[in-house]
């Protein structure tokens, strides 16, 4: 097998080839070229990072040494290998999807530029993850932001697109600035700009500097990660971007924000104060709750998925926050479990979110609309899309046997581990945030039941939905790949967790694999950690079934608490999946054996109506209305009602109702800030009186002030 | 606190449920009764027959026969007339309606102890529906017999129809009948469903359920009292024997002196 | 708008004022003995006269009777007030068939005009929504069943229904949809179709489609003898059989100028109140059932069954069928039997009072009824609502005192009236009326006059008259026109459910879905009665 470095070089050269080929080939052939080259590049990247993940080595190379600054380093340790692997996992299917999806843009926009930017984005994303020093990191980050903006802005002739894209770029730049400042503070005491030097020098930083680094990096990278309050760009950017770009945006780009947070706060300068971890936890929980609330009441499918991304990033952030708090209070094992939960959720989110976005793109290109109130009944015309979308829906709603269940379960279990902490205040905070996460999980089920059933079940509500046809194979295969991965990661957590542990253990300095996946299959007698009594207890529960022919450590995810806090939590989605298959299969077999079945098909019972019309079905708005009503304090919509009546008011001809609402973050944070700035500017604008004499007076006053200051100092 | 008082009140009231079908119900006022044909009537027979507005009476030989499917309890054949017809205060009136095919195959094995009923109102005046509503109330309580009402035909075993089947309900009733899985039975309650009642066949009503869908069991009466409807349901699952649709058969119950 | 309910309108002043306002266009005929004023009116002032009577003079709208004569249609608008009736007659030749609509001013006439349009083919000019009322979408165009040339015994040719047929949609909001209910919905419910327009929680607009139970009673009554039509009157709505048959008999007695003996009148009052008591207990059971308060439902149902058995034991039929006949009632009763009945009913009242007290303190039950399904007094007046529903919205009108019949002037009782117009107010009115019914029964039982229970047999003469009664659901009006040979030429029924279903949507709007069945139970209306 080749070395990681070689794979990496191959990857870069493939990206370069892709750029050149995209520039050369005409628009019609471009998506195909893009798909081929980009898939190969993704495979290269998977091999490169996979090699690192499965072994214990780390890859590093130094590029140049700059004067005054230090070495420019490229390195792939286990943390970045994990993120790069996820990146490859998402880029592969999205590239294949592009073949079927982009042709709809052929005569409107230039597909060559799309291909060029696509490969550039791929390359710079991996470069961000591979950077080993501040300069290359920031350069790659900026490039990634710009190419991401260019791709999101692809349909640039629509005003909505340019506005949203510009907002995204502006907020991204603000975040980058904040993150850069954090890096600068970090580099204050270091001799060189590479991360290794930063890490060793960071121990000298005082508490105030640490707080500044934390705040700047958390809120700076938080913009990219889509955490409240800087998430306003995300729901605006997703609907205007092309379908495959949305998948990349939610599946990969948001992860980069998390990578930045983890890099600075867990790797370079590990957090030492509870307060910092608590802030991450609380911001994460609030993002999760706000995100899912708006997702549940949203009818545009891509906007809904965008809000849901905010929710999932919130969950990841909450897991990270819990980990930070555990680290700061001296529980490295619990911290490790928390980080594993967060990284598992990150991986899962990338997979199922890109699956859902590809599904939304498929529906959009087939029906012509994304509004769930205009879909309906698509399961008959698009059965395969429905099946894969269903897999994505079940995953995001955290239902077994899919992957979302495992990571959501682990995150909530981590929250419950707060009993190991000593401070009551923190325990209360954990309890409240845990309850908030549980609420978001429940709302997520509502949201995605609505998403699937309003789009695919029921009757078609518009002519576009009636005329929809199944999408082409190149669009189905990537969805299938992602759906299969979702299932695999859900059914085989005991194989995934040891790999994730490789990324987590450098951060907490302890390996957590034994704590989470006891080696029921491979345990030997006399092992100090797993005594006879323990093993036999779980043997009776079936934890050693399959010991003889299955590889790996075991199939049960189990954690025993410490002596002080002996709480056991355990789950085996692998065994549950087998039981599920047996039950379903058994039912199927029994049905086949019963011979006397007479099947008649009649239309669904509708009360004896002559025609059941699409207007009589629940709409997406109606389905989520109870949520809107219960959480009215957050939504605060304003409704304007017009009644058109005839002369005697009892005959009503038409009642028209228009509802307007502003996002809570906009309402509480941005609008007041904007208004304040506007009013301050108006006030200060009085300085511009327009009279030349006053301006001359300003010059004189400035001169006098400068003289005085200089005399005083 | 008030909930405790409700519970106590319910317990205080005791058991009101009738013990039919285990024992005969002897309380007064449970049934309006049906006329009973008599042998060797006196001379006023023809005039009595003409008093019936629905042509339910006819003379066969020396006997006046009553077609129970048409009787609407108007009492014109007994009030103001001297002792021509008897009056029977029984309530077990249900009978099989498709005599040509013989009695339908027994349902008792499958549905004897658990029958789900789907009710469709085919234009009934409220009296039959009011009697039907008493079935779920304390005095009659069909749950103890294993009969339940379901709101969807998919889960139903028996279709209960009241009313003469108005023309506007034709489509819905056919849809409901088609929407029931086999095996299924149809039970018509009231004279309207059996013969059209006083409305009869007209432009707005079919004049009987049989014109629309196959009918298995019929319960005559206008309205049939709840005990007769229970008899009809028990007949549908073969837990009770049928009565006759004309007065020459045996009719249970007491006689009015 | 103040309604001068307590003052007696002098019909003479009225006719003077009318002839003063519209001297040439209205011709007035007074029948002071019967409290009837007959006016013949031209098309140009029809609206003004009706609207003036309704709004300024405080008359209530009873019915619109359309009769077909040889070459013309005659429309009779019937208004009534304290002990007086005004019939406004308007004739149009068959060739014209366009009538000015009065619905914009007298909203209570809305459904009457829609029914006449469907059944007779008349065009009411100015009515904003005609069509799709009685006759549904499969009925052929241009065929009107109430016309003389339509043969009621044959089925009609159905029309192919267009697949593009849609019900009318009123609410335009993003995400609005119509929730369909019926025609077949919950267990033992009558067939009716509702479309609830909503955006998810609250019902914004209720669209009702009735006449699924249309049996064409008015048509099949034509050319039948009075004895047979009596059966139709009794049985088109079984739960108010006595009241409807009473109204019909009174109409026939009015036509033939027959005097009903006092014992028959007293017994009629007794049984009418017995029916009202049983009906109200059933409604109370229905309201408790809709809120799922199981013990209360059972208590009320036990009372209802006991009342049914009592009716059957005394009169032979549980629903009092076969009791009324033109001229009196068909059976006589021992005074002792009647006294026993009064005592038994008094015992039932005590149990009912107990139930009422317990319900007053069940807050979870009241929560579902209070401030739910509100009908404002103004709407009740303009829609012309009748019965316990109107009395719960502040309209203290009861035909037993406004147009007394069958000897009600001799009985003392109060009319319970509430102001809120919500579900709880309607429940209280039901309890109050049940109490008053028992009161009346006991009064009649103690002062039962002796004598025959039916007048000597008579021939039905030719003529036309209006009969009315306060049935348990409200005021009902039966218009009967007889021809030679004692057959009925035209029979028009205005049941209280027809009037009240019109105003049902007022109560259902702006309340949540879950309140809909409860609001329907508090209204306690019947589709069989309304659809005829």
pLDDT for B105 = 61
CB A344 within 8 A of CB A500: yes
Residue C198, chain A, CB below 8 Å: the answer is yes
What are the beta bridge partners of residue A62? A73
B neighbour chains, 3+ CB pairs within 8 Å:
A, C
Assigned CATH topology for domain C217-525: Cytochrome-c3 Hydrogenase; chain B (1.10.645)
* Residue of A621, A648, A652 lying closest to C174 (CB–CB): A621
> Which helix or strand (DSSP H or E) is residue A677 part of?
helix A671-684
Q: What is the pLDDT of residues C253-293, one digit of tens each?
A: 989 888 899 999 999 999 999 999 999 999 999 999 999 89
pLDDT band at residue C523, thresholds of 50, 70 and 90? very high
How much of chain A, in percent, has pLDDT values that exceed 70? 97
SS3 sequence of C234-277: HHCCHHHHHHHHHHHHHHHHHHHCCCCCHHHHHHHHHHHHHHHH
**Testing the interface with A: which of B163, B172, B173, B177 to mutate, by most A Cβ within 10 A?**
B172
DSSP C121: -
pLDDT for C359 = 92
pLDDT for B83 = 64
Q: What is the pLDDT of residues A676-710, one digit of tens each?
A: 999 999 988 887 777 888 888 889 999 999 999 99
- Asked if A647 lies within 8 A of C104 by C-beta distance, the reply is yes
The whole-angstrom separation of Cα A683 and Cα B229 is 86
The whole-angstrom separation of Cα C58 and Cα C382 is 11
CB A181 within 8 A of CB A216: yes
A neighbour chains, 3+ CB pairs within 8 Å:
B, C
Q: What is the longest distance spanned by two Cα atoms in chain B?
A: 70
What are phi and psi for residue B117, nearest 5 degrees?
-110, 135
- Asked if C330 lies within 8 A of B75 by C-beta distance, the reply is yes
Which residues of A fall within a CB distance of 8 Å from C178?
Answer: 615-616
What are the beta bridge partners of residue B36? B86
Is residue B134 classed as helix, strand or coil in its secondary structure? helix
Is residue A57 classed as helix, strand or coil in its secondary structure? coil
pLDDT at C243 over 60: yes
pLDDT for B248 = 52
Peptide bond preceding B183: is omega within 30 degrees of 0, i.e. cis? yes
Residue C215, chain B, CB below 8 Å: the answer is yes
**Average pLDDT along chain A:** 87
CB C512 within 8 A of CB C202: yes
pLDDT at A598 over 80: no
Residue of B nearest to C309 (CA): B29
DSSP string, C33-73: GGTEEEEEE-HHHHHHHHHIIIIIS-PEEEEEEEEE-SSEE
Mean of pLDDT values over C170-182: 81
Mean of pLDDT values over A543-562: 79
Residue A526 tokens, joined: 């006399």
- Asked if A646 lies within 8 A of C128 by C-beta distance, the reply is yes
Mean of pLDDT values over A460-481: 87
Class of residue B250 by CB neighbours under 10 A (exposed 0-12, middle 13-18, buried 19+): exposed
Give how far C159 is from chain A: nearest CA, Å.
14
The closest alpha carbon to A341, from A400, A424, A287, A416, belongs to A416
One CATH from 3.20.20.70, 3.40.50.12280, 3.30.230.10, 3.40.50.300 for B95-236: 3.40.50.12280
- Asked if A602 lies within 8 A of B179 by C-beta distance, the reply is yes
pLDDT at A128 over 90: yes
Instruction: Show Cβ contacts of residue C493 under 8 Å, excluding neighbours closer than 6 positions.
Output: C217, C218, C233, C236, C244, C476, C477, C478, C479, C532
CB C107 within 8 A of CB C382: yes
The whole-angstrom separation of Cα A458 and Cα A456 is 7
Which residues of B fall within a CB distance of 8 Å from A602?
Answer: 178-179
Q: What is the ipTM of this complex?
A: 0.90
Mean of pLDDT values over A9-35: 86
pLDDT band at residue C5, thresholds of 50, 70 and 90? very low
pLDDT band at residue A146, thresholds of 50, 70 and 90? very high
Residue B100 tokens, joined: 């040509």
The 8 Å CB, 24+ separation contacts for B52-56 are B52/B76, B52/B77, B53/B198, B53/C227, B53/C228, B53/C231, B54/B191, B54/B195, B54/B197, B54/B198
Residue C292, chain B, CB below 8 Å: the answer is no
The whole-angstrom separation of Cα B1 and Cα A703 is 84
Is residue C404 classed as helix, strand or coil in its secondary structure? coil
pLDDT at C6 over 70: no
DSSP C457: P
- Asked if C363 lies within 8 A of B203 by C-beta distance, the reply is no
The whole-angstrom separation of Cα A36 and Cα A38 is 6
pLDDT for A126 = 92
Mean of pLDDT values over A257-276: 87
pLDDT at A434 over 90: yes
pLDDT for B102 = 44
pLDDT at A327 over 50: yes
Report for A295-299, A340-344, A655-659, C515-519: range of highest mean pLDDT? A340-344
Is residue A15 classed as helix, strand or coil in its secondary structure? helix
pLDDT for C282 = 94
- What is the number of other CB atoms lying within 10 angstroms of the CB of residue A206? 9
pLDDT for B99 = 60
pLDDT for A653 = 67
pLDDT along chain B (257 residues), means of 10: 86 88 84 76 69 83 81 84 74 77 58 88 90 92 91 91 90 92 88 86 85 89 91 87 66 33
H helix and E strand count, chain B: 7, 10
The closest alpha carbon to A128, from A203, A92, A179, belongs to A179
Residue of C nearest to A454 (CA): C175
- Asked if A607 lies within 8 A of C182 by C-beta distance, the reply is yes
Give how far C381 is from chain B: nearest CA, Å.
28
Peptide bond preceding B223: is omega within 30 degrees of 0, i.e. cis? yes
What are the beta bridge partners of residue C494? C477
Give how far C142 is from chain A: nearest CA, Å.
22
The 8 Å CB, 24+ separation contacts for A466-472 are A466/A377, A468/A363, A468/A366, A468/A367, A468/A378, A468/A381, A468/A382, A469/A366, A469/A381, A469/A382, A470/A366, A470/A381, A470/A382, A470/A383, A470/A384, A470/A385, A471/A100, A471/A362, A471/A365, A471/A366, A471/A382, A471/A385, A472/A100
Domain map (residue ranges) of chain A = 276-511, 513-575
pTM: 0.84
CB A315 within 8 A of CB A280: no
Residue C107, chain A, CB below 8 Å: the answer is yes
pLDDT at C203 over 60: yes
Q: Alpha helix (H) ranges present in A230-331?
A: 233-240, 243-248, 254-262, 274-296, 301-328
pLDDT for C7 = 41
Domain C11-125, CATH 3.90.550.10 — does that match?
no
Residue C25 tokens, joined: 């266009």
**Kindly report the CA angle at C84 between C78 and C90, in degrees rounded to 5?**
30
pLDDT for B38 = 66
Residue with the larger pLDDT of the pair C271 and A58: C271
- Asked if C171 lies within 8 A of A655 by C-beta distance, the reply is yes
């Amino acid at each position: 097998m080749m070395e990681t470095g070689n794979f990496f070089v191959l990857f870069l050269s493939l990206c370069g080839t892709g750029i050149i080929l995209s520039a050369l080939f005409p628009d019609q052939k471009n998506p195909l070229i893009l798909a081929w080259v980009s898939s190969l590049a993704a495979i290269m990247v998977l091999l490169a990072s996979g090699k690192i993940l499965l072994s214990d080595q780390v890859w590093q190379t130094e590029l140049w040494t700059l004067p005054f600054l230090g070495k420019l380093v490229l390195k792939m340790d286990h943390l970045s290998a994990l993120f790069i692997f996820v990146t490859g996992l998402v880029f592969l299917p999205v590239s294949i999807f592009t073949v079927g999806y982009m042709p709809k843009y052929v005569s409107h926009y230039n597909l060559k530029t799309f291909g060029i930017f696509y490969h550039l984005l791929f390359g710079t994303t991996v470069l961000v993850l591979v950077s080993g020093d501040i300069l290359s990191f920031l350069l790659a980050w900026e490039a990634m932001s710009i190419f991401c903006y260019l791709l999101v802005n692809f349909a640039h002739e629509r005003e909505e697109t340019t506005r949203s894209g510009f907002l995204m770029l502006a907020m991204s730049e603000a975040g980058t600035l904040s993150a850069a400042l954090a890096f600068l503070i970090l580099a204050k005491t270091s001799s060189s700009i590479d991360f290794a030097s930063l890490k060793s020098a960071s121990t000298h930083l005082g508490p105030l500097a640490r707080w500044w680094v934390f705040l700047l990096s958390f809120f700076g990278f938080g913009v990219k990660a889509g955490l409240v309050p800087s998430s306003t760009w995300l729901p605006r950017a997703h609907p205007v971007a092309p379908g495959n770009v949305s998948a990349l945006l939610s599946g990969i780009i948001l992860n980069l924000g998390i990578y930045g947070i983890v890099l600075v706060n867990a790797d370079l300068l590990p957090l030492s104060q509870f307060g910092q971890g608590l802030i991450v936890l609380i911001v994460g929980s609030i993002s999760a709750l706000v995100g899912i609330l708006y997702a549940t009441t949203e009818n545009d499918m891509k906007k809904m998925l965008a809000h849901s991304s905010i929710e999932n990033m919130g969950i990841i952030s909450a897991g990270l926050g819990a980990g930070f708090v555990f680290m700061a209070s001296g529980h490295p094992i619990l911290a490790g479990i928390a980080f594993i939960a967060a990284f598992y959720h990150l991986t899962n989110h990338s997979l199922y979110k890109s699956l859902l976005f590809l599904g939304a793109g498929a529906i959009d290109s087939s029906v012509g609309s994304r509004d769930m109130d205009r879909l309906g009944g698509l399961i008959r015309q698009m059965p395969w899309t429905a099946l894969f979308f269903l897999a994505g829906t079940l995953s995001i709603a955290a239902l077994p046997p899919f992957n979302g269940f495992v990571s959501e379960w682990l995150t909530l279990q981590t929250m419950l581990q707060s009993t190991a902490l000593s401070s009551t205040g923190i325990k209360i905070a954990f309890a409240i945030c845990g309850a908030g996460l549980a609420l978001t999980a429940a709302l997520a089920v509502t949201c995605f039941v609505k998403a699937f059933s309003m789009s695919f079940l029921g009757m078609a509500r518009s002519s576009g939905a009636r005329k929809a046809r199944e999408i082409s194979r190149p669009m189905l295969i990537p969805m299938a790949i992602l759906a299969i991965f979702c299932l695999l990661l859900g059914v085989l957590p005991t194989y995934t967790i040891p790999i994730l542990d490789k990324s987590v253990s450098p951060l907490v300095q302890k390996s957590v694999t034994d704590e989470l996946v006891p080696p029921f299959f491979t345990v030997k007698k006399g092992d100090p950690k797993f005594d006879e009594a323990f093993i036999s207890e779980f043997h009776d529960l079936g934890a050693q079934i399959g010991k003889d022919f299955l590889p790996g450590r075991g199939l049960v995810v189990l954690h025993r608490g410490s002596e002080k806090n002996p709480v056991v939590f355990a789950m085996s989605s692998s065994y549950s999946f087998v039981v599920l298959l047996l039950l379903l299969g058994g039912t199927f077999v029994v049905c086949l054996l019963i011979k006397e079945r007479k099947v008649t098909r009649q239309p669904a019972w509708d009360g004896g109506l002559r025609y059941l019309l699409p207007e009589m079905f629940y709409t997406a708005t109606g389905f989520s209305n109870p949520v809107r009503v219960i959480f009215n304090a957050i939504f605060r919509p304003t409704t304007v009602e017009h009644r058109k009546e005839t002369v005697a008011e009892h005959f009503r001809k038409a009642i028209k109702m228009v509802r307007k609402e502003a996002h809570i973050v906009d309402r509480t944070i941005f609008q007041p800030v904007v208004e304040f700035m506007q009013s301050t500017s108006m006030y200060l604008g009085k300085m511009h009186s327009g009279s030349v004499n006053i301006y001359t007076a300003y010059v004189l006053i400035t001169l006098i002030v400068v003289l005085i200051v200089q005399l005083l100092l | 606190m008030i909930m405790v008082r409700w519970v106590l009140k319910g317990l205080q009231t005791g058991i009101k449920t009738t013990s039919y079908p285990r024992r005969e119900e002897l309380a007064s006022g449970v049934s309006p009764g049906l006329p009973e044909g008599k042998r060797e009537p006196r001379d006023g027979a023809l005039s009595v027959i003409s008093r019936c507005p629905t042509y339910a009476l006819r003379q066969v030989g020396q006997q006046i026969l009553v077609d129970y499917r048409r009787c609407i309890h108007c009492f014109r054949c007994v009030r103001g007339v001297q002792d021509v017809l008897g009056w029977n205060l029984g309530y077990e009136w249900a009978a099989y309606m498709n005599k040509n095919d013989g009695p339908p195959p027994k349902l008792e094995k499958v549905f004897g102890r658990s029958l789900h009923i789907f009710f469709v109102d085919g234009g009934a005046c409220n009296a039959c529906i009011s009697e039907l509503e008493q079935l779920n109330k304390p005095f009659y309580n069909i749950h103890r017999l294993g009969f339940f009402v379901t709101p969807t035909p998919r889960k139903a075993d028996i279709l209960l129809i009241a009313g003469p089947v108005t023309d506007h309900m034709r489509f819905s009733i056919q849809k409901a009948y088609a929407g029931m899985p086999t095996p299924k039975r149809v039970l018509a309650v009231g004279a309207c469903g059996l013969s059209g009642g006083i409305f009869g066949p007209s432009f707005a009503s079919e004049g009987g359920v049989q014109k629309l869908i196959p009918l298995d069991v019929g319960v005559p009466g206008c309205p049939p009292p709840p005990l007769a409807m229970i008899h009809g349901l028990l007949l549908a699952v073969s837990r009770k024997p049928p009565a006759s649709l004309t007065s020459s058969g045996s009719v249970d119950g007491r006689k009015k002196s | 708008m103040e309604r001068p309910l307590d003052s007696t309108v002098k019909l003479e002043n009225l006719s003077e004022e009318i002839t003063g306002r519209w001297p040439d266009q209205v011709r007035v005929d007074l029948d002071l003995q019967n409290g009837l004023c007959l006016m013949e009116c031209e098309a140009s002032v029809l609206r003004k006269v009706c609207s003036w009577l309704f709004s300024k003079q405080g008359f209530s709208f009873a019915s619109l009777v359309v009769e077909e004569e040889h070459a013309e249609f005659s429309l009779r608008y019937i208004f009534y007030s304290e002990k007086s009736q005004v019939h406004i007659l308007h004739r149009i030749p068959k060739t014209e068939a366009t009538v000015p609509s009065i619905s914009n001013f007298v909203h209570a006439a809305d459904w009457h005009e829609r029914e006449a349009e469907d059944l007779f083919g008349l065009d009411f000019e100015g009515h904003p929504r005609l069509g799709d009322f009685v006759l549904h979408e499969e009925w052929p165009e241009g065929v009107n069943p109430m016309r003389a040339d339509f043969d009621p015994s044959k089925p009609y040719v159905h029309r192919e229904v267009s697949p593009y047929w849609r019900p009318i949609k009123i609410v335009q909001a993003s995400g609005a949809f119509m929730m369909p209910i019926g025609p077949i919905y919950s267990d033992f419910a009558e067939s009716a179709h509702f479309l609830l327009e909503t955006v998810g929680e609250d019902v914004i607009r209720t669209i009702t489609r009735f006449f699924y139970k249309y049996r064409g009673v008015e048509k099949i009554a034509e050319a039948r003898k009075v004895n047979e039509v009596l059966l139709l009157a009794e049985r088109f709505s079984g739960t108010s059989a006595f009241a409807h048959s009473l109204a019909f008999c009174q109409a026939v007695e009015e036509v033939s100028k027959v005097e009903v003996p006092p014992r028959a009148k007293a017994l009629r009052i007794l049984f009418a109140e017995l029916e009202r008591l049983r009906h109200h207990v059933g409604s109370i059971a229905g309201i408790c059932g809709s809120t799922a308060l199981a013990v209360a439902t059972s208590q009320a149902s036990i009372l209802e069954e006991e009342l049914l058995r009592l009716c059957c034991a005394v009169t032979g039929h549980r629903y009092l069928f076969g009791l009324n006949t033109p001229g009196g009632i068909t059976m006589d009763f021992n005074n002792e039997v009647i006294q026993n009945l009064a005592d038994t009913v008094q015992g039932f009242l005590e149990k009912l009072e107990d139930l009422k007290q317990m319900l007053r303190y069940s807050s979870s039950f009241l929560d579902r009824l209070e401030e739910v399904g509100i009908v404002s007094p103004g709407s009740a007046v303009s829609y012309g609502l009748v019965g316990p529903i109107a009395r719960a919205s502040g309209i203290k009108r009861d035909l037993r005192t406004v147009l007394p019949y069958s000897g009600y002037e001799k009985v003392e009782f109060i009319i319970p009236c509430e102001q809120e117009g919500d579900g709880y107010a309607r429940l209280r009115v039901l309890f109050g009326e049940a109490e008053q019914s028992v009161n009346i029964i006991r009064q009649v039982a103690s002062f039962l006059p002796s004598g025959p229970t039916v007048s000597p047999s008579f021939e039905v003469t030719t003529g036309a008259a209006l009969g009315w009664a306060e049935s348990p659901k409200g005021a009902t009006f039966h218009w009967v026109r007889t021809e030679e040979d004692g057959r009925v030429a035209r029979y028009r029924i205005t049941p209280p459910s027809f009037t009240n279903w019109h105003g049902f949507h007022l109560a259902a709007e702006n309340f949540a879905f879950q309140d809909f069945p409860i609001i329907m139970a508090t209204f306690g209306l019947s589709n069989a009665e309304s659809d005829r």
